[in-house]
Structure 1
Amino acid sequence: MRNSFLKTRSIFRRENPSGVSSSFKTTKPKQDGWVAMDWGDLKFFLAVARNGTLSAAAAGMRTTPSRVSRHVEALELALGYSLFRRSLDGYRLTDEGRLLVRRAEAVESAIHALDSEISLEVSGRVRIATTESIVTYLLARPLSELQQEHPNLQVELLTSSSAINLLAAEADVALRLVRPQAGNLTVKRLGHIAFAVYQDVKGVGEGRFVTWMVDMADLPAARWIERTDGLIVLRSNSLTVHHEMAAQGYGCAVLPCFLGDQDSRLMRVGSVIDEIGQELWLVTNRDLAGSARVRCVTDVVSNAIESQTELISGDLLG
């Protein structure tokens, strides 16, 4: 199912004596006996029900089997009963699971219909402040797909290293490595960005380092490099330069794992450097968070980052 700003946040069931869901709602009633379910969990449940295995469901949703498993288990925990019988052959629906499939498919159809009705109505400009590497390696394809779905939506990407003030309307959405502590902002943690040392696969750059300019010495990666015994042979204020020079054998570079692990010209040297890892935060001006165009973009960005958790956290290579 394509991403949409109308992505339903939660669906609810009323418990009955048999333990089987009897109805769904799209807003949470105040009466006792209602249990919240996340629509995201239902999407993963349907994928497993239709494919029979975690790996097949994950492939269809462009994510990992472990993430699919977490969503299915969260749904079972919320409901209080098992939806599948697990075996070496895969996942088979229980009686409760088969009942839930019918309910969930009805909800899915309704959301698809609503998405189709409003898809052409999402228009206008959304400005995203982020880094060049995040756009290039994590968001390029999802944003391209978003544009195809919403041709009247215009995205502007601000990759300047200078600080962007969302409250001053310099951008609508920002991806930040430091959590904002105050202001009229909505903040969501997207994941943990891991870093490691990389060098060219031939080992030409072994023992030498590419690092940051002297006036950027307070960056975590720069401080870590300064404590090593490696010879610093190049300084640059560009992560893109660090990446390419390392790949060409000029020297080793400390890079985000989502960048280094995807380049076949590079190999990781040692393990992830825990002390310089950074959290990634999605930040939106609270006054714009409910806007259709902004919500459409933040849903795509959030899903794109969260679906690549293993790559971003450095777990793809172990």
Structure 2
Amino acid sequence: MKNIDWSDLQLFVAVARGGGLSPAAKESGSSPATVGRRMLALEQAVGRPLFVRRQTGYELTIDGRALLSKAQLMEANARSIDDWLEAEGGRSLVRISAGTWTANFFADNFSRLWTPEDPFRIAFKTTEAKLDIAHREVEIGVRNAAPESPNLAGRRTVEVAQAAFCARNAGEAGRRNWVAISPEDMATRSARWLAAQSGATFAAWANTPRTLHDLIRSGVGKGVMPCFAGDRDPLLERAGDEIADLREGQWLVMHNEDRHRSDVRTVIDRIVALVNAHAPLFRGARPLGG
């Protein structure tokens, strides 16, 4: 079977369905002579006669009928795949792994990353953990360091600053006490930095950045956030200067092979253009009201 081409089997089904070379030739866009030669080659490949050739047309032999049932099953399976691709719009998928703050920024600016005319779709994998790009869990990862694996490629984008933020209407306790990611859920440098501060008093803990943001907005306490997230929220204000120890670069990381895909390359270029256009925001140079 390794010498049998699927297109020959499709043509075989067309000959069997039409009862001869001419209907199959019309369906396939080939000449009857070409169809006839390919059917002879198919019979040689399987080592069995598939047709009884008569002046009135082609009739299937016993082996021909057996092959037809198998080929029709393959045709049905192939059609289900085509239907699946058609249902998906025939579009590829570009998966982006990013932390909560970055995913939120991308979502707010989604029209800069994707348009309805694009031949691909985007799926966000929002997590503070690092997904395995080398084993294709995602196509693009937003990271705070260059990749170390030889299978991965990296593209540096912008500098990211962080600071303490509190609610604009926060009382004295809300400006003095901290809210933080709980010790068992720490996955970022900022969470570990705050946990290491001696003398800090904590009003509440959260297990996700999203809940941390809600606690800060509610005036429960101040918390550490990237400036590109905190400075975009009109309900928040800075509760101190930039935390210099937490400044870091942002990297886009992708598999060495995937980065050459046209859809992945397009999304990478759009991400770079988007964050570069907001570079002052990322480096903390655009505080609201500043």
Letter in 1 for 2:181: W
Which one of 229, 232, 235 corresponds to residue 199 of structure 2? 229
Q: Which has the higher helix share?
A: 2
Letter in 2 for 1:305: V
- Residues of 2 paired with 1:230 and 1:200: CA distance? 18
1:44 paired residue number: none
Structure 2 CA distance for partners of 1:216 and 1:178, relative to 1, 3 Å = farther
TM-score normalised by length of structure 1: 0.57
TM-score normalised by length of structure 2: 0.63
The 3-state SS of whatever aligns with 1:166 is: coil
1:168 equivalent to 2:138? Answer no
Shift of 1:257: 0.4
The structure with the larger Rg is 2
Structure 2 CA distance for partners of 1:123 and 1:296, relative to 1, 3 Å = farther
Structure 2 CA distance for partners of 1:260 and 1:142, relative to 1, 3 Å = closer
2:99 paired residue number: 131
Aligned residues: 197
Which one of 253, 261, 265 corresponds to residue 235 of structure 2? 265
| Structure 1: gaps spanning 5 or more residues | 1-121
Which one of 212, 232, 250 corresponds to residue 242 of structure 1? 212
For the 8 Å contact 1:142–1:300, the answer to whether it is kept is: no
2:154 paired residue number: 187
The 3-state SS of whatever aligns with 2:242 is: coil
Shift of 1:136: 1.4
Structure 2 CA distance for partners of 1:207 and 1:146, relative to 1, 3 Å = closer
- Residues of 2 paired with 1:198 and 1:308: CA distance? 20
1:28-47 correspondence runs (5 A):
none
Structure 2 CA distance for partners of 1:315 and 1:236, relative to 1, 3 Å = same
1:208 equivalent to 2:185? Answer no
For the 8 Å contact 1:126–1:172, the answer to whether it is kept is: yes
What do the CA deviations read for 1:61-109 (whole angstroms, capped 9, x no partner)? xxxxxxxxxxxxxxxxxxxxxxxxxxxxxxxxxxxxxxxxxxxxxxxxx
2:144 paired residue number: 177
1:27-106 correspondence runs (5 A):
none
Structure 2 CA distance for partners of 1:195 and 1:188, relative to 1, 3 Å = same
Which one of 272, 297, 318 corresponds to residue 267 of structure 2? 297
RMSD: 2.2
Structure 2 CA distance for partners of 1:281 and 1:254, relative to 1, 3 Å = same
- Residues of 1 paired with 2:101 and 2:187: CA distance? 20
- Residues of 2 paired with 1:249 and 1:276: CA distance? 23
Report sequence identity in percent. 23
What do the CA deviations read for 1:13-37 (whole angstroms, capped 9, x no partner)? xxxxxxxxxxxxxxxxxxxxxxxxx
| Structure 2: gaps spanning 5 or more residues | 1-89
The 3-state SS of whatever aligns with 2:154 is: strand
